[in-house]
């Protein structure tokens, strides 16, 4: 009886994991393509948005992006030479008579 159960157990077909792996890989590839297309659409939208702005606004956006990058690195938003030699700081140092 026990041998019969073992024989039936071993004679049953085993589950093929190779098929599951192939299916999983195909699903992952589709997801990667979707993510890539989403990223492309996002980049295209940002490019379009930037193009609609005036030149002055684009410059402000660039300056803001630069300052954010410096803050993220833990630095002051403006380099020391800009703080020392900028026009605004020079007028502050002058004495008003």
- The whole domain housing 31 covers 20-72
Place of tokens 């502050």: 92
pLDDT at 62: 94
The count of structural domains within the chain is: 1
pLDDT in tens, 45-58: 999 999 999 999 99
30 inside domain: yes
Instruction: Specify if 47 maps to a domain.
Output: yes
pTM for this model (two decimals): 0.47
pLDDT in tens, 8-50: 666 666 555 556 888 888 889 999 899 889 999 999 999 999 9
The C-alpha R_g of the chain, in whole angstroms, comes to: 32
What pLDDT is recorded for position 15? 55
Contacts 24+ apart (CB under 8 A), 85-89: none
């Amino acid at each position: 009886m026990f041998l019969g159960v073992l024989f039936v157990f071993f004679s049953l077909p085993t589950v093929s994991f190779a098929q599951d792996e192939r299916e999983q890989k195909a699903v992952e590839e589709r997801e990667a393509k979707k993510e890539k297309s989403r990223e492309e659409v996002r980049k295209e939208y940002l490019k379009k948005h930037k193009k609609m702005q005036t030149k002055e606004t684009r410059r402000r956006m660039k300056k803001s992006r630069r300052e954010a990058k410096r803050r993220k690195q833990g630095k002051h938003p403006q380099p020391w030479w800009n703080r020392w030699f900028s026009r605004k700081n020079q007028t502050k140092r002058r004495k008003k008579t």
